[in-house]
Chain A
Amino acid sequence: MIGALIAREVRRGLAGAAWLPVIFFLLVAAIVPFAVGPDAQLLARIGGGALWIAALTAALLPIERLVEPDRGDGILDQLALSGASEEGIAAAKIIGHWLTFGPLLLLAAIPASVLVGLDGAALLRAIVALAIGTPALAALAVTVAALTAGLPRAGSLAGLLLMPLAVPLVIFGAAATGADPGGALKLEAAVALLTLVGAPFVTAAAIRAART
């Protein structure tokens, strides 16, 4: 059942608007040079951080279609009756969501790095940091989607919830993208791992709480 659920998430993600967060990511990256001016040195210094802000805002876009449609249409109830645990459902949703979000974002990170003026070495660091960070972003998106499912103005509320939760990830992710990463990549990986492990349980509790 979990395999079928992951396949379903991927199918719906691709049929839905998987390209939308990616275009959004590229747009935000493209706006940065306009906002800070054409100073190449300054751009290269803040470029890594700008990519992370772009990735974070892109992660917000799909939130509303991740959990609420399935809750409202009774699919989560039917899954429970068919014997799937809420934790399993949550894990499947996180994996399925990342598959339609992470790889595309990593691809888009190449042109985006050029837009914000990162050189080759910095581009590589950005890709590695984003590859570690996007699963955690996907997990946070599913968690926040479950926490806000069924609430009025869930979209805006999701943004308010997700951004503070992503702060540790952005701190270490952006530092790992920068010129002097130090141990930032390991700390980013630790934060991402913690997020990934905790998210299915929080999501499952939120799905159960939404039933009462």
Chain B
Amino acid sequence: MSRLIDARGLALVRGGRLLFEGLDVTLDGGEGLHLTGPNGCGKSSLIRLIAGLLLPTVGTIERAGAALADEHLALDRELPLGRALAFWRGPNLGNALTAFDLDRIADVPVRMLSTGQGRRARLARVMASAAPLWLLDEPLNGLDAAGTEQLAGAIAGHRASGGAVVTASHVPLAGDWRMLELSA
């Protein structure tokens, strides 16, 4: 199995507070890593570190190509959903739209989407990217039962094909996950 994340000795100071130190994170293809811990313990920060959007105070991170779904929609609100997602050039967009049942609302402008539909759109962008590493920050927020099932299916398929997933979630996810608990 190929190594998709190799992070050594991570420490992060945010707002004058040490969130974690001496943290090693390694993840191989096919694996899933579930980050848990109380609010403010640095789960989202760790995901942004792995994404490369934050720099660690100490430590090194190497990772494969990654796609991120966080709390931001990052879609042009005036465009239809299909075109807004197509801007991100995901090679796997057609499958992703089907997997999250977004086909039938592909013509709806992004600003008209409900919270749950917006959530699915974020996950669909991750799936469409065909990146080997998925970074999902609270992916279940705002998803209904059907959406939760679609996500579980997408994650299972991605891991079966050699991809890896890092998620931060307060809710347990379906499937087999390696747990990493961050303390406050």
Q: With an 8 A cutoff between CB atoms, is B6 at the interface?
A: no
Within 8 A of A (CB), among B41-78: 48, 51-55, 65-68, 70-76, 78
- The answer to whether B74 touches A78 (Cβ under 8 A) is yes
Q: Give Cα distance in the complex from A38 to B149, angstroms.
A: 74
**Nearest chain A CB to B123 CB, angstrom units:** 13
Most chain A CB atoms below 10 A, which of B53, B54, B75, B129: B53
Cβ–Cβ contact B68 & A81, under 8 A: yes
> How many residues does chain A have at the interface if contact means C-beta atoms less than 8 Å apart?
17
Q: Does A211 have its Cβ within 8 Å of any Cβ on chain B?
A: yes
Chain A facing B: main interface SS = helix
Cross-chain contact A73 with B129 (CB below 8 angstroms): no
A123 to B: closest C-beta gap in Å:
38
Contact for B72 among A12, A77, A83, A212, CB less than 8 A: A77
- Residue-wise, chain A 52-88 has the 8 Å CB interface mask toward B (1 for contact) of 0000000000000000000011110110111100000
A4 at the interface (CB under 8 A from B): yes
- Residues in A with CB closer than 8 Å to B66 are 81
What is the minimal beta-carbon distance from A82 to any residue of chain B, in angstroms?
A: 7
> Which residues between 156 and 182 of chain B lie within 8 Å of chain A, taking CB atoms?
none
CA of A8 to CA of B83, assembled, Å: 12
Main secondary structure of the interface of B (DSSP, over half): loop
Contact between B74 and A74, CB atoms less than 8 A apart: yes
Is A20 among interface residues, defined by CB-CB distance under 8 A? no
User: Across the interface, which residues of B come within 8 angstroms of A4, CB to CB?
Assistant: 87, 89
Q: Which residues on A sit within 8 Å (CB–CB) of B125?
A: 78
B53 contacts A82, C-beta separation under 8 Å: no
**CB neighbours of B88 from chain A (8 A):** 78, 82
Q: Is A35 an interface residue (CB 8 A)?
A: no
Contact in complex: A82, B76 (CB < 8 Å) = no
Q: Which residue of B lies closest to A5 (CB)?
A: B87
| Proximity string of chain B (82-115) to chain A, C-beta cutoff 8 Å, 1 when within and 0 when not | 0000011100000000000000000000000000
- Among A1, A4, A15, A74, the most chain B Cβ lie within 10 Å of the Cβ of A74
Residue of B nearest to A80 (CB): B53
Q: How far in angstroms is the closest Cβ of chain B from A197?
A: 26
Pick from A8, A81, A83: contact of B87, CB below 8 A.
A8
B129 proximity list for chain A (CB < 8 A): 82
Nearest-CB residue, chain B, relative to A72 = B72
> Within residues 5 to 29 of chain A, which ones have a CB less than 8 A from any CB in chain B?
8, 12, 15
Known contacts A4-B87, A8-B87, A15-B78: A78-B54 contact under CB 8 Å: no
Q: Out of A1, A73, A80, which one reaches B89, CB within 8 Å? A: A1
Interchain nearest-CB distance for B82 vs A (Å): 15
Distance to closest chain A CB from B141 (angstroms): 15
Complex Cα distance, B67 from A175, in Å, reads 51
Chain A, residues 168-187, CB within 8 Å of chain B (1/0): the string is: 00000000000000000000
The verdict on A74 contacting B89 (CB below 8 Å), with A81-B52, A211-B53 known, is no
* Chain B residues with CB under 8 A of A83: 65
